[in-house]
């Protein structure tokens, strides 16, 4: 694992952007500091010898079930749109996506 790198305000801004959460400019230094505290705590994992250890993908050894690839649900447009903040003419409405 590469050595622990301190999170800068630029990195914090980039992470906020990736997470699609607006963070005001003046809140970035505090956010970066919080990330550093948490990542400092996580850093302990570097002490563990994980050579040859597989990353866990499933906590129980069960094989996932399979089923026939049939359509078993659908035709619920009204229910699907019921909780939308803005639904029009049977669609979800969003601000303009392309110019």
Partner 1 sequence: MSDLNKLTIAEARDQLRAKEITSQELTQSCLSAIDGADALGAFVHKTHDLAMSQAQAADARLAAGDAPDMCGIPLGIKDLFCTKGVDSQAASRILQGFKPEYESTVSQNLLDAGTVMLGKLNMDEFAMGSSNETSVYGNAINPWKVDDRALTPGGSSGGSAAAVAADLCLAATGTDTGGSIRQPAAFTGIVGIKPTYGRCSRWGVVAFASSLDQAGPMTKTVRDSAIMLEAMCGHDPKDSTSADLPVPNFEAMLTGDIRGKKIGIPKEYRMEGMPAEIEALWSQGADMLRDAGAEIVDISLPHTKYALPAYYVIAPAEASSNLARYDGVRFGHRATLAAGDGITEMYEKTRAEGFGPEVQRRIMIGTYVLSAGFYDAYYNRARRVRTLIKKDFEDVFATGVDAILTPATPSAAFGLGEMTDADPVQMYLNDVFTVTVNLAGLPGISVPTGLDSTGLPLGLQLIGRPWEEGDLLNTAHVLEQAAGFVAKPQKWW
User: What residues line the site for partner 1 (CB under 8 A)?
Assistant: 1-2, 7, 11-12, 15-16, 18-23, 31, 34-35, 37-39, 41-48, 50, 53-60, 62, 64-65, 67, 76, 79-80, 82-86, 92, 94-97
Give whichever of 67 and 69 is closer to partner 1, judged by the CB atom.
Answer: 67
Q: Which of 82, 21, 73, 74 is nearest to 92 (CA)?
A: 82
Give whichever of 29 and 92 is closer to partner 1, judged by the CB atom.
Answer: 92
| CB 55 to partner 1: min, Å | 3
| CB 42 to partner 1: min, Å | 5
**Exposure string (b/e) for 50-74, b if CB count within 10 Å is 16 or more?**
eeeeeeeeeeeeeeeeeeeeeeeee
Looking at the DSSP bridge assignments, the partners of residue 87 are 92
- DSSP H helices, 1-99, are 9-18, 28-42, 77-81
Q: Which of 15, 20, 22, 27 is nearest to 7 (CA)?
A: 15
| CB 12 to partner 1: min, Å | 8
| CB 61 to partner 1: min, Å | 9
């Amino acid at each position: 694992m590469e050595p622990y790198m301190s999170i800068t305000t630029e990195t914090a801004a980039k992470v906020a952007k990736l997470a699609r959460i607006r963070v005001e400019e003046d809140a970035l230094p505090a956010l970066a500091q919080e990330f550093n505290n948490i990542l400092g705590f996580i850093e302990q994992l570097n002490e563990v010898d994980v050579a040859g250890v597989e990353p866990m993908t499933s906590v129980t050894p069960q094989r996932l079930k399979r089923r026939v690839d049939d359509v078993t649900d659908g035709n619920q447009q009204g229910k699907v749109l019921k909780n939308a903040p803005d639904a029009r003419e049977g669609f979800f409405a969003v601000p303009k996506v392309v110019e």
